[in-house]
Structure 1
Amino acid sequence: MKLKEISKDIYDVDAWMDEQYGKVGSPERNEFRKEAYSYCVGQMILDARKQEKITQSELAERVGSSKSYISKIERGLIEPGAGLFLRIIDALGLRVDIVRPIM
C-alpha cells in the first residue's frame, strides 16, 4: 500500500501502519514492534562494535558467546538475555542508565 498523502510532503504513517501491521494493541502490531525493537538493538550493538573496531569473534570471546550468536543479535533475529546484553554493553565500553522518567 502507498502512504496516504495528506498534503504535498505529509503522509499518514499511522494509517499505513494500521493497514500493514494491524491496529495498535493487536497481536500483529505487537509482533511487529517486537521485531523492530530487536532489529534496533542489534543495529546499536553492530554500530558500537564497529566503532570499537572489534570483530564479532572478538566480541563473542569477550562475553562468552559464539560469533554466530552475536551475528544473530546484530541482525535482529534474536534478543540477548539481560545478562548477555549487559556483558555486551560492558565489552563495548557502553553503559546503561536506569532512571525514573520525569513526569
Structure 2
Amino acid sequence: MQANENIHSFDAILDAQFGKPGTSERETFEREAEAYCIGQLIHDARKQEKMTQSELAEKVGTNKSYISKIENGSVEPGIGMFYRIIHALGLRVDIVKPVMEI
C-alpha cells in the first residue's frame, strides 16, 4: 500500500504555521483562538436567549460595541465582566477539580 503524502496531522500544520508549543507565536495563537471560541459561545447563548447585543450590553453595564468585540474575539473581557455576561445569559460557570487518573 502506498502512503498518501498529502495527509498531515493537525499538530504538524499548527507547528508549521504558528510554531511549536511553548513558543510565543504558538501561545499568541492559542490565546486568540480561545478568545474567539469564548466569543462564539457568548454569541450563541445570546442568540438562543433572543437578546440583542444592545440588550446584553445594558444588562451588564457596557456598550454594544464592547459586546461585539467580545463576540468577535478581538477583546477578552475581565473576569468580572465575564461573570456578569454569563449571569445575564442565564448561564453558570462550574470550576471542577479533575479526578485523578489511575
TM-score (norm 1): 0.90
User: How well do the aligned residues superpose, as a CA RMSD in angstroms?
Assistant: 1.2
* Greater relative CO, 1 or 2 (CA 8 Å, sep 6+): 2
Would you identify which runs of 4 or more consecutive aligned residues in structure 1 move more than 3 Å? none
Match of 2:10 among 10, 13, 23: 13
Tell me whether 1:52 sits opposite 2:49 in the alignment: yes
Matched residue type, 1:94: L
Shift of 1:19: 0.3
Give the gaps of 5 or more residues in structure 2. Answer: none
The equivalent residue for 2:77 is 80
CA displacement 1:20-76 (0-9 Å, x = unmatched): 000011000000000000000000000000000000000000000100000000000
The equivalent residue for 2:39 is 42
Give the gaps of 5 or more residues in structure 1. Answer: 6-10
Report sequence identity in percent: 64
Change (3 A) 1:50 1:14: same
Mapped to 1, the partners of 2:65 and 2:37 lie a distance apart of 18
TM-score (norm 2): 0.91
Mapped to 2, the partners of 1:47 and 1:57 lie a distance apart of 15
Shift of 1:99: 1.3
CA displacement 1:59-102 (0-9 Å, x = unmatched): 00000010000000000000000000000000000001111111
